[in-house]
């Protein structure tokens, strides 16, 4: 199991893991990583961590790389979702499939999604007021 820590933003002096506690986690079999310069505001150098067996990770602004990873995860989810509607490389609608049925709003001119049905009924009732 890996424990990874990023640098707190701004001039925050707290740090999630000290070199000493990292050393103890490593003795217990954990792998410990920390963002480059994450401990500086707390008085710990990168070398303090490295001599205790901690892996230093760059880039310096690790949180800025998260949107890339989020986009990759979203694209994988979207691909899997679209593939749920395909069979033999053709569109295939299976109303018995929970994913497909749950994502449909209308089919053959009928509103199937219960949330949309409720919203439409609510809107119809408030129009007359």
Same domain for 57 and 93: no
Q: H/E element holding 68?
A: helix 66-83
Please tell me the distance from the alpha carbon of residue 103 to that of residue 108, in angstroms, as a whole number: 15
Contacts of 22 (CB under 8 A, 6+ apart): 3, 32, 34, 49, 52, 53, 54
Tell me, what's the pLDDT at 128?
60
What pLDDT sits at residue 74? 86
17 and 57 within one domain: yes
Whole-angstrom Cα distance, residue 20 to residue 23? Answer: 5
pLDDT at 57: 87
pLDDT by residue for the chain (129 residues), tens only, comes to 888 888 877 888 888 899 999 999 999 999 999 988 999 999 999 999 999 999 998 865 656 766 677 788 888 888 888 888 898 989 999 989 888 888 889 999 999 888 899 999 888 777 665
Structural domain of residue 57, as residue ranges? 2-65
Enter the pTM of the model. Answer: 0.46
User: Which of 18, 36, 65 finishes a domain?
Assistant: 65
Claim to verify: residue 40 and residue 95 sit in the same structural domain: no
The Cα–Cα gap between 110 and 118 comes to 14
pLDDT of residue 66: 66
Can you give the pLDDT at residue 60?
A: 59
Structure tokens at 80: 């899997």
- Nearest alpha carbon to residue 46 among 106, 88, 5, 95: 5
Number of domains forming the structure of the chain: 2
């Amino acid at each position: 199991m890996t424990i990874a820590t990023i640098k707190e933003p701004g001039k925050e002096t707290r740090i999630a893991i000290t070199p000493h506690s990292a050393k103890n986690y490593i003795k217990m079999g954990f792998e410990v990583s920390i963002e480059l310069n994450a401990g500086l505001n707390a008085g710990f150098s990168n070398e303090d961590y490295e001599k205790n067996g901690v892996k230093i990770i760059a880039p310096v602004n690790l949180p800025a790389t998260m949107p890339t990873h989020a986009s990759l995860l979203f694209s994988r989810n979207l691909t899997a979702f679209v593939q749920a509607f395909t069979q033999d490389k053709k569109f295939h609608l299976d109303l018995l499939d929970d994913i497909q049925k749950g994502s449909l709003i209308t089919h053959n001119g009928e509103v199937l999604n219960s949330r949309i049905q409720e919203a439409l009924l609510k809107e119809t009732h408030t129009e007359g007021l």
